[in-house]
Structure 1
Amino acid sequence: MTTTLLTGVIALAVGTYAFRFAGPALRSRVQVSPRTVKLLEIASVVLLAALAVTTLVPSGSGDFGLALPAGVLAAAVLAWRRAPLLVVILAAAVITSGLRMLGVH
């Protein structure tokens, strides 16, 4: 089990660095059309929206209340307003945990 995990981590690290190196190395060789750039920008927004929506609905069964959607909604608004990522994450955590501490589940 440990060997498999370590192999996976190493493979992920090598792949990540390969992709990060490929960008600057291939920038002058590969021409990307403005339409493709626009589609990639839209795709990144769609992926982030899908992540936010799936976070709103926990996979567990039962009533999850309003605290979690309130935190995710606050994070979505802050992200839309282009707040720094750390601020978005902390605001979502503080709002969700604060509401739960107040008894709103």
Structure 2
Amino acid sequence: MSATVAVILMLAVGTYALRLVGPVLHGRVELPARVQESLAAGAVVLLVALLATGALTEDGGFAGWARPAGVLVGGVLAWRRAPFAVVVLGAAATAGGLRALGVA
């Protein structure tokens, strides 16, 4: 057995064990309310950071104003509970329209 196969098998076993821990410990371990609130806040912060990075940067630099404007329009439409297709098309039309007008 090569080293690569051994590493893949170890990662597979580790992944399976990690996934098994959740159902096995579900009723036995209870997190304090403060920890649960921190985990929820951490998830939100992580998602916002991912959104900001994707919306504002491209190749390590500023993506220009068209992309953030499209993301903003998409966010407003999603907040107003527009259908998903309308959100995507609105964001794309905004970014595309601004780029057609010369706004980078």
TM score, norm. by length of structure 2: 0.58
Output aligned runs, 1:61-76, within 5 Å.
Answer: 64-76=63-75
Gaps of 5+ in 1: none
- Any gaps of 5 or more consecutive residues in structure 2? none
* Aligned residues with identical type, % of pairs: 51
Q: Number of paired residues? A: 99
Tell me which amino acid in the other structure corresponds to 1:70.
A
Kindly tell me: are residues 60 and 95 of structure 1, through their superposed partners in 2, closer, same or farther at Cα, counting changes over 3 Å? same
Superposed CA RMSD? 4.1
Instruction: Kindly name which structure, 1 or 2, has the bigger radius of gyration based on alpha carbons.
Output: 2
Question: Aligned ranges for residues 42-57 of structure 1 at < 5 Å?
Answer: 42-57=41-56
Q: 1:48 to 1:100 in 2, by over 3 A?
A: same
Matches within 5 A, 1:10-49: 18-49=17-48
TM-score normalised over the length of structure 1: 0.57
Check whether the contact 2:56–2:64 (CA below 8 A) recurs between aligned residues.
no
